[in-house]
Chains A and B, each alone.
Chain A
Amino acid sequence: MAGWAHHLIIAPVLLPLVAGALLAVYDERRQFLKGLINLFSTLANLAIAITLLQAADTDAPGVYLLGNWPAPFGIVLVLDRLSAMLVLLTAVLATASLIFSMARWHTVGHHFHTLFQFLVMGVNGAFLTGDLFNLFVFFEVMLASSYGLLLHGSGPRRVQASLHYVVINLTAAFFFLVGVALIYGVTGTLNMADLAARIPALAAENRVLLEVGAAILAIAFLVKAAMWPLGFWLLSAYPAAAPPVAAIFAILSKVGLYALLRLRPLLFGGEAGDAAGYGGTLLFAGGLATIAFGILGVLASQAMTRIASFSLMISSGTVLAAIGLSDTQVTSGSLFYLASSTLTISAFFLLIELIERGQNPGADLIAVTAEAMGAEPDAEDTATEGGIGFPGTLAILGACFVACALLLIGLPPLSGFVAKLALLAALFAPAGEGAAAGLSAANWAFIVLLLLSGVATLMTLSRVGIRAFWAPVDAVAPRVLAVEVAPVVALLLLTLVLAVKGGAVMQYMDETARSVLTPSAYVEDVLSAPRVPPAKAGLQ
């Protein structure tokens, strides 16, 4: 990248920051204008993300030196395949949930658009930064806006869920800080690439401290990624959130996964000497436990939002286990799975609200369960709706539900099947030394849990689907606007594109997994990034 295009790397952070600040100026009566600004910024962000993805598809990551300070001293932004892919995924989810919220959800509370932009900024920044402490700052930007968004719409249930969510995330932030401080104390640097370069030369007596620091740091990421004993907060927070908020929150757990996937090969990759491979077993076991917990939860759930939350945990667990194995093929399969499942769960959260809108809240089991959990009828459910209704609503919603189910279960023809196939194929054919000895017990456990998760989702979703679409005798078609169905359909169509273009996408994921797991090019590029020559004084 040359010329002005080089500065595009910082655009996914700057654009939402400027837009969010601008939105904070207008008061709440100018909802339409605010929505328009937000939509414009989100669409521009999507276009930038697509451009960045094309630019990132090389072996040399793009490095942006903030303030033109050379790499280990200043903060760097790094754009490689993994970051570009996740920035694009964020932009897609943001566009979908924003368009969905424009129908009515953005008016149920204050400062929705501002917080939305800041959330996008935090997530993008976390994906792009190459500095550990900067990662913390972007994490906090993301979390602070997510606190506000979780409260969007208010009501006792949301406030209660927020209280727990905020406390847990603040505590996790302390773990983050302690971990970062320990790592800095031992290595004397916070730049991720510089860390990778310094760790092999670390004195043996300091290695334990480094490992303790990394483990404490990992707790912060694992809380965010909702690994089994650390992820219970997700089950009260996500179902309580407003649907468009839950849809964009689907990317938040991926930030934790991203940080693990990025840092583990850098800190404890093959070149790290004695520290190499630290924590792999624990991540793998934790991932499997998360899948197992998710399976039980999916089977036990009645409410659709809870099923979606447990599905999110299953997808987190699957990626975590893959990170623990640190095998190129498995990782590339899990990246495909990550993209596919994030799109699916986001669409599912949006869809659930549309489906449940049509149901009589007093009569069915879902509402009973919700009441047992201490929920009260939400005020916004009684709000009047304007606009044009959508014909054939139930048919469309039913078709979308079937598509979501196919994706979550992993049945053809959508991308959920391709993703699971790629993962299973990689697990059945392990590369390297284990190839001759047959499949290891770990691989078998992963395969079995992966298949079981599909079966459990199939059972639950058919039960819920029958109850929602076939059982009601006097079904009243929910009043749904075209602008609300469109994002769901668009997200599901994207998964179809992922499946149809499976070959090209899989190739991209292979390259991504390879460059993430062997980060020598990343380290070299960051540390040797050339500074922009100083501008000549005066014009000539």
Chain B
Amino acid sequence: MALLLATCIGILAGSGVWLLLRPRTYQVVIGLSLCALAVNLFIFSMGRLRSGAPPVLSSTAGALADYADPVPQALVLTAIVIGFATTALLLVVLLAARGFTGTDHVDGQER
């Protein structure tokens, strides 16, 4: 499972960085989204990989080892919300730039 997750994160981050370095604003936005996914998975994996362990304490609490670490899950939630909002804002800026310059090149002019 660890290998699979690591490969996933690697592919997402790699494609994200590649797109981030492209000259079209839309590619940059998609690149940022892919990077955000990779980062979120990474944060999630920092709580150690487990399956079938709930993060929330139940009333019939057993040993602490029966539970998954809830903190990274809370962090991921926050990171997703913030990333979502800022990406939306970036889309607005992107459209404004397109309107002003007439091109979707990140520098506002071809070449």
List chain A positions with a Cβ less than 8 A from chain B: 133, 137, 140, 143-144, 147-148, 151, 154-156, 159-160, 162-164, 166-167, 170-171, 173-174, 177-178, 180-182, 184-185, 190, 374
Contacts and interface: CB of A to CB of B under 8 A. Distances in A.
A184 B44 CA distance: 11
28 contacts: A133-B75, A137-B78, A144-B86, A151-B93, A151-B96, A156-B97, A160-B97, A160-B100, A160-B108, A162-B93, A163-B94, A163-B97, A164-B106, A166-B86, A166-B89, A170-B83, A170-B90, A171-B32, A177-B39, A177-B79, A178-B39, A181-B42, A181-B75, A182-B46, A184-B46, A184-B75, A185-B47, A374-B109
Across the A-B interface, the 8 shortest Cβ-Cβ residue pairs: A185-B46, A156-B100, A181-B43, A181-B46, A159-B96, A160-B108, A140-B82, A174-B39
B20 interface: yes
Given A137-B78, A163-B25, A184-B72, A144 B89 contact: yes
Contacts of B25: 163
Interface string B43-84: 100110000000000000000000000011001001100110
Nearest to B35: A174
B93 A159 contact: yes
A159 B108 CA distance: 10
Nearest to A151: B93
A97 B42 CA distance: 40
Contact of A156 (B72, B78, B79, B101): B101
Nearest to B79: A177
Interface of B: 20, 25, 28, 32, 35-36, 39, 42-43, 46-47, 71-72, 75, 78-79, 82-83, 85-87, 89-90, 93-94, 96-97, 100-101, 106-109
A231 to B, nearest CB: 19
B88 to A, nearest CB: 10
Contacts, number: 88
Contacts of B72: 181, 184
Contacts of A171: 20, 32, 35
Nearest to A148: B89
A170 B85 contact: no
Nearest to B78: A137
A159 B62 CA distance: 56
Contacts of A147: 86, 89, 93
Given A163-B93, A173-B82, A184-B72, 6 more contacts: A144-B85, A164-B106, A166-B86, A167-B90, A170-B32, A170-B87
A374 B108 contact: yes
Given A163-B106, A181-B75, A374-B108, A137 B20 contact: no
A160 B97 CA distance: 6
A147 B36 CA distance: 19
A155 B46 CA distance: 43
Nearest to A160: B108
Contacts of B108: 156, 160, 374
Contact of B36 (A144, A162, A163, A174): A174
A443 B31 CA distance: 43
Nearest to B48: A185
B41 to A, nearest CB: 10
Contacts of A162: 93
Contacts of B36: 174
Nearest to B82: A140
Contacts of A156: 97, 100-101, 108
Contacts of B82: 137, 140, 173
Nearest to A155: B100
Contacts of B90: 163, 166-167, 170
